[in-house]
Amino acid sequence: METVLAFDVGGTKTSCALVANGKILRKKEKATIGSNTAEDFVQQIFKMGQPWIDKADKVAVATLGLVEGGCWSAPTLNLIDGKKFPLVKKLTRLFHKNVTIVNDAQAAAWGEYKFGAGKTKDMLFVTVSTGVGGGLVSNGRLITGKTGLAGHIGHIQIDPHGLECTCGRKGCLQAYVSGEGISFAAQPYHPGATTKNVFEQAEDGKDWAKDILHTSASLLTTAISNAKSMLDIEIAVIGGSVGLAKGYIGMLQKEMLKEDNLYSVKIKEAILGSNAGLIGAASLD
């Protein structure tokens, strides 16, 4: 049985694990370093993984940002050397093992497909968290795309004159649906409100909070249906702290009932939680 040293590099934390056949054998986490160079990220990954590398047959990294031909770009981190950084080459030299890298939401999609809630050949994974990420499995294959952009459902533009997105474009879905979008929309009603506060207020029966969550769920449901019209996906697996917050999946399912059967997609809850990226990256061929 193959053992993989897997990493999940996120904006706030980096996880490192030994994974075999979809199971986490050992795992540790550290706050992701705040640095403006990609080289420092490499060093952090190497230091975390070095004590376990002898137990691994290969290395797999799920990371935020875009992955293209073994190179990594992370526009949101503003790294000096962070455009098409040769991450695979650097890590191969350090670990002396085969290294694969993949976008974190794409990895999570693959994890949920292989070992989680999404065991059907055509599925979409959506994580609703600080932002909105996604990954696509089509006919049993992970679709990454030439530039690594495939599955980024959060950056579908729904209003060219709309709210500014973290990617620099205006009116991306993420700006309305995500945790940041939800708390932003709440400010006029409840200055300083967090996303969690909005969920609490909605549970308490406040119409303004219910409306904000309804908008988020309704826009995301439409985007998922649109994805079906392009790719004929059967199910959408939902993860992320907002996606898994109490009541959110129920709202998506309710909104989906309004869709014509042809465009309707079954909504399921992700089951691998924060391990989806590690497990998915580790089980890519």
Q: Which residues would be at the binding site for Zn ion (CB under 5 A)?
A: 155, 165, 167, 169, 172
> Nearer to ligand ADP by C-beta: 151 or 243?
243
Minimum Å gap between C-beta 217 and ligand ADP is 13
CB of 10 to ligand ADP, least distance (A): 5
Which of ligand ADP, Zn ion, none does residue 270 bind to, with CB < 5 to 8 Å depending on kind? Answer: none
CB of 172 to Zn ion, least distance (A): 3
What does 90 bind: Zn ion, ligand ADP, none (CB cut-off 5 to 8 Å by kind)?
A: none
- Compare residues 158 and 231 and give the one whose CB is closer to Zn ion: 158
Q: Which partner from the list ligand ADP, Zn ion, none does 165 bind, CB cut-off 5 to 8 Å by kind?
A: Zn ion
N-term to C-term CA, the chain: 14
Q: Which is nearer to ligand ADP, 69 or 273 (CB)?
A: 273
| Cα gap 49→28, rounded to integer Å | 10
Residue closer to Zn ion, measured from CB, 156 or 271 = 156
Please give the single-letter amino acid code of residue 129.
S
Contact (Cβ atoms closer than 8 angstroms) between residue 25 and residue 35: no
H or E stretch covering 128 = strand 123-128
195 phi, psi to nearest 5 deg: -60, -40
Gap between the Cα atoms of 145 and 139, Å rounded: 15
Cα dihedral: 76, 82, 88, 93 (round 10) = -140
Whether 204 and 90 have beta carbons less than 8 Å apart is answered as no
Name the residue nearer to ligand ADP (CB basis): 64 or 88. 64
Burial-class residue 80 by CB neighbours within 10 Å (0-12, 13-18, 19+).
Answer: exposed
**CA 213 vs CA 91, 196, 207, 245, 282: distances in Å:** 42, 11, 10, 11, 34
Measured from the CB of residue 180, what is the shortest distance to ligand ADP in angstroms? Answer: 6
Find, among 75, 67, 59, the residue nearest to 16 by Cα.
59
- Beta carbon of residue 231, minimum distance to ligand ADP (angstroms, whole number): 25
Contact 41/131 with Cβ under 8 angstroms?
no
Task: CB nearer to Zn ion: give 67 or 172.
Answer: 172
Q: Least separation, in Å, of the C-beta of 179 and ligand ADP? A: 2
Q: Which residues bind ligand ADP (CB under 6 A)?
A: 10-12, 129-130, 179-180, 194-196, 199, 241-242, 245
Q: Among Zn ion, ligand ADP, none, what does residue 58 contact (CB within 5–8 Å per kind)?
A: none
271 makes contact, choosing from Zn ion, ligand ADP, none, with CB < 5 to 8 Å by partner type, with none
225 binds, among ligand ADP, Zn ion, none (CB under 5 to 8 A by kind): none
Binding-site partner at residue 241 among ligand ADP, Zn ion, none, CB < 5 to 8 Å by type: ligand ADP
**163 or 245: whose CB is closer to ligand ADP?**
245
What is d(CA 120, CA 285) in angstroms, rounded to the nearest whole number? 18
How many CB atoms neighbour CB 275 within 10 A?
Answer: 23
The CA distance from 52 to 102, in Å, is 21
Q: Residue 129: name its binding partner from Zn ion, ligand ADP, none (Cβ under 5 to 8 Å by kind).
A: ligand ADP
Closest to ligand ADP by CB, 86 vs 247, is 247
